[in-house]
Chain A
């Protein structure tokens, strides 16, 4: 029997690279950087993943506030990390992803609101966000290794819904908080469009994420009520493999709308464009690392959103079948 196995491993060739199970991420679009490239690629159903994200961001809006409410003249800087859990699961014959992400860290900033200057630091846990997405157009769910081997996204379209639960740390005496003290969420349709062949080292995709964010009111924003109209997100990425394990992307993100009103005083709606780039590296079958930078570009006016940031994402994924195969291999 051992001979048979050796025979097969010789004949089956090197397809281990096709067994990457880390082909998913958890949404981290609480920042102006968006979800990022290659977020909505599909993986082996049953795959679990833990993302750890480190952000360094700054600008004239609270990076943790998904409405990106601009406070003219303000200066925020944030050192954040996020950790979460995601799992791919089949629903019907479609692939779905459920994830939860908890932000944590520290934000400090200087802001002036209604003539009152604030200089504050906020630290602790933010609002956990739960997200669910399901594919509606594209290849069927990857249920087994042959499906992985034959997977090609072609044109793939998902529907997603996110919801942040307002249980993060919040101080109603300052405008700078990690928690937002209100429910918010979004619906969107992530699209992955394969350009050319699906060969590691040569994969190219064009990816879009149109989404709409909805917010309830924060009824205790420094003692006032903050309302925010729906915000429209359009994210696009042109991604390309540089090598089998290394890829990069050109990222564009735009936000529109999301006008905030604080006790009847209207702010400006967003109309900004951000550009950036991402480098990704698949460390092994279980681990992936990405590094990205994004900055707003049409931000000359005081009311314009100014924000930039670095983000490092480490993702560890596992699947019981793949882990079992590793154990057997280790015992040979």
Chain B
């Protein structure tokens, strides 16, 4: 509301009012542009996220369970996590060449670390009494993994996933801003260089909506996966 009034009273070059943006939003993103730019972006994003979560959990579980492997890899992984993911974009573009696969790899290369490290941490901090109990009840390795290790690590894993979602979204945009072909990031830069301000804002708005949508989906999944955990917390607090 404030924004709307302010925008109409003092029309500025770089801050169009909400009505202009919504108009631009409808004109720009509904129609062919949706399939040309939005869909590829979203597909890359989703594939990237799914791959990083899978890789992160699988590798994290293995590394977390095997102590010597963990001690062997920990410093190296620490370093990789510390590398700001965007600097990997030029390197990966060099090695894998420009293309859709590279963009997915870029997303994975940045988004996998939070999941991986949190999974390692979560798997490692499995309650030792429970581990021994499970062992003495002769649960097989797979059963132990399925019913003990993964559930007890899941709060940590979900925290990692939450972090990696925002990293993935950022990397999607960056990788598209870097290599001009298609996608949301490319579109927004294009509007900016051509001084289509309202259209640019509508792109920012769209990205914001995607961020909110991702957060909402994550919140829903987290509530399903960690229902038991939140239940315990609730009881403890009461």
Partners in one complex: no
Residues of A with Cβ closer than 8 Å to B?
none
Residues of B within 8 A of A (CB): none
